[in-house]
Amino acid sequence: MTMPTTIDSRAAIQSSLVRAWGLEGYARIQRTVRETDVSSDADFQRFYNRFYRVRRNAEWQSSYYAIMEREKASPSTAFGDVLREMNELTGVDGTMNLT
């Protein structure tokens, strides 16, 4: 006679939410970003690009990761200033009015 399978509904829901929200990937990025030079680590950049669906050219990505690496050391730049710098470096115009 086969014993019925017991399902832990709470664990099943938690596991589903972790996968659906990509929490393992997010945790990997948060852990790795401190341990690596994101401006030169191609593996980190590929994973980050896939996770956040970055669809910009190599020039844009190079500028983005250089700024990210710089800001890790001294996170003092305001968000609007970072957007302006990205625009100056890449010529990509954002959709936000920052004035």
d(CA 99, CA 96): 9
In this structure, how many other beta carbons lie within 10 angstroms of the beta carbon of residue 13?
Answer: 10
d(CA 25, CA 52): 10
Both structure tokens of 73: 């050391």
Most trustworthy range by pLDDT among 3-12, 35-44, 87-96:
35-44
Residues whose CB falls within 8 Å of the CB of residue 59, separated by 6 or more in sequence, listed in order: 90
The reported pLDDT for the residue numbered 61 is: 94
In this structure, how many other beta carbons lie within 10 angstroms of the beta carbon of residue 63?
Answer: 19
Tens digits of residue pLDDT in 68-94: 999 888 877 788 888 898 889 888 765
Q: Is the pLDDT of residue 50 over 50?
A: yes
Q: Is the pLDDT of residue 22 over 90?
A: no
Residues whose CB falls within 8 Å of the CB of residue 14, separated by 6 or more in sequence, listed in order: none
Kindly indicate the confidence band of residue 63, based on its pLDDT and cuts at 50, 70 and 90. very high
